[in-house]
Structure 1
Amino acid sequence: MNRQLSIIGVPMDLGQNRRGVDMGPSAMRYAGVVDRLTALGYEVEDRGDVRIGRSSEEEESQSNLKDLHEVVDANKALAKEVKSVVEAERFPLVLGGDHSIAIGTLAGVSEPFENMGVIWYDAHGDLNTGETSPSGNIHGMPLAVSLGIGHPSLTEIGGYAPKVKPENIVIIGARSLDEGERKLIREKGIQVYTMHEVDRYGMSHVMQEALSYLKDRQTDGVHLSLDLDALDPQDAPGVGTPVLGGTSYRETHLAMEILADADILTSAEFVEVNPILDVKNKTAEAGVGLIGSLFGEKLL
């Protein structure tokens, strides 16, 4: 993995309804993410936070997508920042913030690659559109947007679409999918490992299958998008949309260790840490622990 690493914080909380997730990047910094990566021998550059605008009630009344204008602006700025990291031949590590920021991250990382792969480690599919979303919250749409499906002001961020092909996506840990998302998964043939597969076959088997799947598609870069709500609320209580029955902290550590050993990642993001809903920064600390494992931290 690239030993030169740039951290970008995105204090975004407009992609959903519950306030507090904008403090996620600060919580992970407080939990020691920079020191942890530096101790592993990485040259770490913290680029600070992308500026996020404030909600406009007038604009909300004109669209069923909540805070569309502000989310678009923030993701354009994020895409530009991430692209500059990629052009400097550094590894972008993005800290969120709600999952709508994945729109900007993927817009910034995927352009140099012919066949970008994505591992979406999440309780949700995030494959909704304005037409299928029960809430209008954009944090439930970033994967659909990255496929070129959704509002043009979102899909065209970065000046190109789509950012990723459906056959190059692997969703891991899903346990809450809306009907529109299920339909899109079937139509596009997206590879999904739900908690049923994780429970039945084990995390090691699922991760090895996922890696083989991406290898078979000859992906030339792989982005990891990890939503902390993939973990069970017992291990990660500080998330906006917790769903019972998630992966354990131990299982997710193993998944990160397997990815570290595979050495295929070219970018990553960790999102949806909400300190207001957390217990003694437990979720941020879990996120930083997982980042450590992803970047090669070993017990011995």
Structure 2
Amino acid sequence: MKSISLIGVPMDLGQMRRGVDMGPSAIRYAGVVERLENIGHTVRDRGDVLIEAAERVQDPSTNLRNLKAVAKGNTELAITVDKVITEGDFPLVLGGDHSIAMGTIAGLARHYSNLGIIWYDAHGDLNTGETSPSGNIHGMPLAVSLGIGHPTLTSIHGDSPKIKPENIVIIGARSLDEGERTLIKEKGIKVYTMHEVDRLGMTQVMDETISYLKEKNLDGVHLSLDLDALDPQEAPGVGTPVPGGATYRESHLAMEMLEESKLITSAEFVEVNPILDEKNKTAATAVALIGSLFGEKLL
């Protein structure tokens, strides 16, 4: 059984739709602590990283929204994640928009020199200020973690890059911008789009993902799960829903297979927006997936 530190990050500055800052509260309300404790884990809820209220600004010279405020919040998160690992706990981060992955990975990178990443998401999040159609930083954290992007972001909590492109697997992608597609091909990033999920089945996708990462001699694997990876019918409370996503059952299978692999050393669940949700359905789905990732069994 694990000793888990829960870290909430009420960040909504990485995109434009309000409400995702209430994601950590919604996931707690849906019973995440009780779910993990019932499995037998020890849970320490460290509360929320302080995200200060900030004027919403977009710098025309960089095409980045709320750059300083996003960088500051992620720096605080990186410090917290760093501390959690130093103390020997498993960091479980609750978002907030997906820009928080920059802080999570920056904190992890202090402890893992060869970190693997499973990016379970409808999007690649590989944009930069130059390629992003919107300037929303929640579409950039994977690029930033690779050392690609504005120096204010790539330098969060130390050296850059934090991760290597060959150590990444993206699962569930179905909305990629042109610049992201170019970067994926240039860097040789492994991607299972929903076409592959449909064609191969989630079992094979996860088997291949686990085998691929096990061959890399990694010292840790981080799961970054955006609830918009699931179909909007399953997870309506997200800021950037894309039709045709993974099913509830496919996503549970993916989490169950990751738990069986014993690969995962940290995780984050992001983009739950209760304002856009139906009776906290998306937060409840997040909690159920967390249960599967941490070993919950029917029998």
Report the TM-score when normalising by structure 1.
0.98
- Aligned-residue offset at 1:111: 2.1
Question: How far apart are the structure 2 equivalents of 1:57 and 1:286?
Answer: 30
Question: Aligned-pair distance for 1:59?
Answer: 6.7
Q: Deviations over 1:237-290 (max 9, x none)?
A: 000000000000000000000000001111000000000000000000000000
C-alpha contact (below 8 Å) 2:4/2:92 kept by paired residues: yes
Asked if 1:199 is matched to 2:198, the reply is: yes
Determine the C-alpha separation between the residues in 2 that align with 1:133 and 1:224. Answer: 24
1:114 to 2:113 alignment: yes
CA shift for structure 1 position 218: 1.3
Aligned amino acid, residue 65 of structure 1: L
Structure 1 equivalent of residue 138 of structure 2? 139
Deviation of the 1:61 alpha carbon? 5.8
Structure 2 partner of 1:28: 27
Structure 2: distance between partners of 1:33 and 1:60: 38
Does the CA contact (< 8 Å) of 1:78 and 1:108 recur in 2?
Answer: yes
Write the deviation string for residues 103-138 of structure 1: whole angstroms up to 9, x where unpaired.
000001122122110000000000000000000000
SS at match of 1:93: strand
Deviations 1:57-85 (A, max 9, x none): 56746642100010000000000000000
Amino acid at match of 1:214: L
2:255 is the counterpart of 1:256: yes
Instruction: Indicate the residue corresponding to 1:90 in structure 2.
Output: 89
Distance 1:178 1:59 in 2: 20
**Using a 3 Å threshold, how does the CA distance of structure 1 residues 53 and 59 change in structure 2: closer, same or farther?**
farther
- The within-5 A match list for 1:264-275 is 264-275=263-274
Map of 2:38 onto structure 1 = 39
Amino acid corresponding to residue 103 of structure 1 in structure 2: M
Paired residues in the alignment total 299
- Note the residue ranges of structure 2 that are not aligned, 5 or more in a row: none
Residue 176 of structure 1 corresponds to: 175
3-state SS of the aligned residue for 1:134? coil
CA contact 2:232–2:241 (8 Å) conserved in 1? yes
Counterpart CA distance in 1 for 2:282 and 2:41 is 23
Letter in 1 for 2:202: M
1:13-52 CA distance string (max 9 Å, x none): 0000100000000000000000000111111000000111
- Give the gaps of 5 or more residues in structure 1: none
Contact 2:56 2:65 in 1 (8 A): no
State the match for 2:128 in structure 1.
129
- Secondary structure of 1:125's aligned partner: coil
Q: Which residue identity is paired with 1:8?
A: I
Q: How far apart in 2 are the matches of 1:59 and 1:120?
A: 27
Between the aligned partners of 1:245 and 1:177, the Cα distance in structure 2 is: 14
Conserved in 1, the CA contact under 8 Å of 2:63 and 2:135?
yes
Which position in structure 2 is the counterpart of 1:73?
A: 72
- Percent identity between matched residues is 70
Question: 2:297 maps to what in 1?
Answer: 298
Amino acid aligned to 2:115: M
Contact 1:59 1:69 in 2 (8 A): no
Distance (Å, rounded) in 1 between the aligned partners of 2:225 and 2:277: 18
Name the amino acid aligned to 1:22: D
Write the mapping of 1:93-104 to structure 2, written as runs, cut at 5 A. 93-104=92-103
Residue of structure 2 equivalent to 1:53: 52
2:58–2:64 contact (8 Å) kept in structure 1? no
Secondary structure at 2:64 match in 1: coil
